[in-house]
Each structure stands twice: as C-alpha cells, then as structure tokens.
Amino acid sequence: MPHAATLTLAGTHVADRIRTALPDAIRSASADIVTLEPASAFEAMRFLRDDEELDGKFLVQMCSVDMITHIDLVYHFASLAQNHIFEVKVPADHEHPEVPSISPLWSGAILQEREIYDLMGVKFPGHPELTRLFLWESFPGHPLRKDFMSMPGGRKSGLSQFPKQVAGETGQEFRPAAPGTGE
C-alpha cells in the first residue's frame, strides 16, 4: 500500500540499503543527505532503481549546486508505487566536473543532464548527445557557476555575497561562504 502522504526516506536508511549491495558506494550519509562516490554512482543508482525496497523508478528531478569547493549534483528519486521520496547527492570536482550519465537508466534525465551541462558545465560521460540545451555552443562559460561574470576586484553582484566579505582593497580573489557558514 502506498503511504497516504509522501514519506521522505532518511538518508541513513537509503545508505544502509545501498551498502547491502555496494559496500563502497557511499561516501557519507546523514539524516537528510546521502552522498555517493562518483566512481560507483552509476552502479548505485542502477541498484536503487531496481531495488524492491527503495524502488526509485521515478527520477523526480536532478540539478546541480555550485558549492565553491566542489559541485554537488542533487538527485531526487521517488517511488510512485510506495509513495516515498529520497535525495541523493553526487559530488564532482569543481575545475573539471565529470559525473557518469544516468540517461541510460532514466530517459527523463537526458534533457536535464543537457541543461546541467549547459548551465553548470558538468560533463556526463555516457550521455547520447551532450550538447548545450538553452545557450548556443560558443557561449563563454557556464552561467550558474558562482564565479561566472565576477566583477573586477572579485566583487560579486549577488545580494548575499556582496556586502561585507569584500575585505580590504587587496584584490584578493573573492570566495563566498559555503552554505551553512553564512550568518
């Protein structure tokens, strides 16, 4: 029987379940977030799609977050039959981000991966046609990255970053605080 309202699975529960099949696939797990090892992410996702208990047949959405030190790919999976939802993250390198494509598993990921490639610059090996989705091919840079179009002196136009962290006129490169360390 499906749950009456969507149940959000605890990250530790998901991690435990994945560990039964792929012991090395989990990098870290907390109550909210499961972080997968990028190297075995594809296998882990195949497992959580086909697993009976996790049953993540429905890829709700995927997106990317620039965390300055790295880029997080955020996947939300749902089981329509059991009506639960859980979140999985895959970290990628900031300079040369590369995450295996999951479009062989979910055809709904094809366009979303193209969007992420376009706006965040994450490459997806295994994607059938990894071209830019919204912008034209020669567009410089990837707009959703935090260092896109930073102003002279390292200033950013962002509201949250702009006010106080530009310390001194030294011209040192500005790096906004990672989430969680803000005020």
Partner 1 sequence: MPIKSEPVEVNIGPQHPSTHGVFRMVAKIDGERIVDVKMIVGYLHRSMEKLAEERTFTQNIPFTDRMDYLAAMSGNLGYCLSVEKLAGVEVPERAQYLRVIFAELQRVASHCMATGAFINDCGAWQTPVMYAFRDREKVLDLFEMTCGARLTTNYMRIGGVAFDIPDEFLPALDRLINDDLPFRFEEYDQLLVGNEIIMMRARDVGMVSPEMAINASLSGPLLRSAGIAWDIRKADPYCVYDRMQFDIPVGYNGDAYDRMCIRIEEMKQSLRIIRQAVHDLPGGPHKTDVPLAIRPPAGEAYSRVESPKGELGFYVVSDGGPAPYRWHVRAPSLINLSVLREMTIGKSIADAIVTLGSIDINVGELDR
Partner 2 sequence: MTMLLSLLTIVTDNWWDIRDLSNVSGAVLDIIDDLGGPAWLIYIVSALLGTLAIISFIGGVAIINIWVERRVVGRMQSRLGPNRLGPFGLLQPIADAIKLMQKEVLQPKSAPGLIFTLAPIMFTIPGIAMMAVLPWGRNMSLANVDVGILYILGLSSLGALAVFMAGYSSNNKYALFGSMRVIAMLVSYEIPIVLSLLGIVLFTGTMNPQGIVLFQEHYWSLMILLQPLAFIIYFFSVSAELNRTPADIAEAESEIVGGYHTEYSGMKFGLFYAAELINAVAVSAIISTLFLGGWWAYKLDEIVPGWMIYIGKIYTVYFVFVWTRGTLPRFRIDQLLAFAWKWLTPMALLNIVMVSAEVTIWEESGLSAGIVLPIYMVINTAAAGAIIYAFVRFLAPKFERFPTQLRFYSNIDVPSLPAVAAPPDRAKVSV
Instruction: Give the Cα separation of 141 and 174 in Å (integer).
Output: 18
- Minimum CB–partner distance for residue 58 and partner 1 (Å): 5
The partner in contact with residue 12, picked from partner 2, partner 1, none with C-beta cut-offs of 5 to 8 angstroms by kind, is none
The partner in contact with residue 104, picked from partner 2, partner 1, none with C-beta cut-offs of 5 to 8 angstroms by kind, is partner 2
- Chain-centroid distance, C-alpha 158: 21
The partner in contact with residue 128, picked from partner 2, partner 1, none with C-beta cut-offs of 5 to 8 angstroms by kind, is partner 2
- Minimum CB–partner distance for residue 17 and partner 2 (Å): 17
Closer of 59 and 92 to partner 2 (Cβ): 59
- Residue 153 token pair: 């002196």
Task: For the chain, give the number of residues.
Answer: 183
**In 2-152, where does DSSP find H-type helix?**
11-21, 41-50, 109-120
State the residues that interact with partner 2 by CB under 8 A.
2, 49-50, 57, 80-81, 83, 103-107, 110, 128-129
Question: What distances in angstroms separate CA 142 from CA 48, 146, 160, one per listed residue?
Answer: 31, 9, 20
The partner in contact with residue 160, picked from partner 2, partner 1, none with C-beta cut-offs of 5 to 8 angstroms by kind, is partner 1
